[in-house]
Amino acid sequence: MGQSIFYKFIILQVFPQGPPGPDPGARGEANIVSKIRKLPAAFAKLISSVLSTTVIDLNWQGRPRSIASALLRCEDFSALIDPGPASTLPELRQHLQQCGISVPKLNAVFLTHIHLDHAGASGTLVRENPNLKVYVHAKGVPHLLDPTKLLQSASRLWGDELPRLFGEFLPVPAENLVALGGGETIRLGSSPLEVLYTPGHASHHVTYFDPASATAFVGDTAGVSINGHPFVFPVTPPPDISIELWDVSLDAIAALRPKKLFLAHFSYSESPGAHIASYRKRLRLWRDLSADILARNLGESGAMHHFIEVAEADAAQYLTQEELSHYVFNGAVHLSWLGLVRYHRKRAEVTVNTTAV
């Protein structure tokens, strides 16, 4: 009895040059074998033309599940969504190596926004790979060309801890930068990636959407949720949050009907509808809570402590003590308070100016 086609297929996988032993024999059978020989290459091509995503845990400050980067691959092309800060470059290199990729082989960096925990390593990666393209919203371009102002404002928030936490922030040369506005479709090999302008967390924030897997890489637009936990913690740092624009951005992300959200803090949320609804609700809660606290004139430090206390007590209803401390570490609640204060002050100024006119 002749060998089955399936058996020959398996043999071809193990012995691509042909199995040892007697020749397959009859001409018809040889034709079938030669057709089967072509399958693995076609199959491999099909597989490699699909965008694959690998989550990279950057283990920031030695704490797993704090900052995630995403390695995207299609055919021979590879890119990172948010490479993270320079302080986690050794971790990033190690993960890339495990995936058989080195920095000089990377084709692109897709930045969701330019905050240090997302974009800090970009300039160092470009220095190592001068062909690397860095995609960023047009409003972020000047700060990557010259990060002086960005670092000054980060120093005000983090003080002397800045270098230890985030490492060096090197500028990115103009020839490496690709400015985005939202609405573009960029390609990694043959895979399209749609760009969506999603301000709210920052005025220059974008989201990348992979239509094939319906995954939205949302950066910090959808808050903090560790490995798909249903509780979502807002991240509202200075200098330019806008709850109103955020609402519109969340609508735009929801309209894509994503199957998965990829969060920088941390990893996938696989119930985008519930996640976005919960996030929107808590964001409004924080807006109203901060407005209420500001109206009570508790003093700078008293107000901040009160906000942190109430926000953490709210989160504690949904999280274990260990989870809560991890969310608080990831979310930097004190910075969120400062961001909300600035947001309310800017709105009050606009109201005063409008009234004066």
Residue ranges that bind Zn ion, judged by CB under 5 A: 117, 220
What's the Cα-to-Cα distance from 150 to each of 105, 116, 124, 234, rounded to whole Å? 29, 9, 16, 22
| Cβ closest to Zn ion, residue 51 vs residue 80 | 80
Q: Measured from the CB of residue 257, what is the shortest distance to Zn ion in angstroms?
A: 25
- Residue carrying the six token digits 């089967």: 36
Determine the Cα–Cα distance for residues 351 and 346; give it in Å rounded to an integer: 9
Q: Measured from the CB of residue 287, what is the shortest distance to Zn ion in angstroms?
A: 19
Q: Give the amino acid at 319.
A: L
Q: Measured from the CB of residue 121, what is the shortest distance to Zn ion in angstroms?
A: 13
Q: Measured from the CB of residue 17, what is the shortest distance to Zn ion in angstroms?
A: 51
Q: Measured from the CB of residue 40, what is the shortest distance to Zn ion in angstroms?
A: 42
Dihedral over Cα of 222, 225, 230, 234: its sign: negative
* Chain-centroid distance, C-alpha 278: 19
| Cβ closest to Zn ion, residue 161 vs residue 288 | 161
Assess contact for 140 and 204: CB atoms under 8 A. Answer: yes
Helices (H), 65-173: 89-98, 116-119, 122-128, 141-145, 148-158, 162-166
| Cβ closest to Zn ion, residue 113 vs residue 280 | 113
For 91, left (φ over 0), alpha (ψ -120 to 50), or beta? Answer: alpha
| Cβ closest to Zn ion, residue 210 vs residue 220 | 220
| Cβ closest to Zn ion, residue 245 vs residue 294 | 245
